[in-house]
Amino acid sequence: MSAIFLVAAAMLAPAPAMSQTPPVETAAPAVDPARLAAARTVIEQIFPAATRQQTMQGMMSAMMANIRQPLMTNPDFAAAVQKDPRVKKIFDDFVDRQLARSTELLNANLPGMVDAMAHAYARRFDISQLHDLSVFFSTPTGKIYLANSMTIMSDPDVAAWQRDLTTRSMKTVQSDIADLVKQITALQPPVKTQ
């Protein structure tokens, strides 16, 4: 049963830092200030400040629900819950804590995300294209698109696809983790050179 919690933890927890040394980042190409200003307008239309946290919360909740469901139907997990119903409460509390922590982290870092997206749009679209996007997002169809695009992950077809993918990945992850542990355990101590 502990393997299920390892799998759940691996799937739900934010990725841990692999090293104490931060990775060396290459400098991103400079962005034209006029393009950046135009991109900021577009990003504000896509992620309005007034609803930004609510939008991200909805996306996170839908994603977590799509991940939780296959875990709950995993035969090993179902057997563990059958054996001791407290397992489900422990798991639900774990998932809820992960969602709360991830949401808190995301909300605290939304300004950085918005800035990064503005830079990304400014690099990929010229001023004319950014203007066209802004005009489109101002139309009735553009507004409907923006209102619905952030809820795509909760669409039944997308949710079913994500649950199926999670279920299929669960079938191999336990043996993959066991194989990884076996490989690491089999390592010989490194030869010390003087």
d(CA 182, CA 175): 10
Domain count, the chain: 1
- Residue 36 inside a domain? The answer is yes
- Evaluate if residue 11 carries a pLDDT over 70: no
- Residue 162 inside a domain? The answer is yes
- Residue 156 inside a domain? The answer is yes
Q: Which helix (H) or strand (E) is 173 found in, with range?
A: helix 156-186
- Residue 183 inside a domain? The answer is no
Handedness of CA 31, 34, 37, 40 (dihedral sign): negative
- Residue 185 inside a domain? The answer is no
pLDDT at residue 40, as a whole number: 97
- Write the DSSP symbol of residue 17: P
| pLDDT bracket for residue 182 (50, 70, 90) | confident
- Residue 182 inside a domain? The answer is no
| pTM for this prediction | 0.62
- Residue 26 inside a domain? The answer is no
- Structural domain of 79: 32-171
- Residue 22 inside a domain? The answer is no
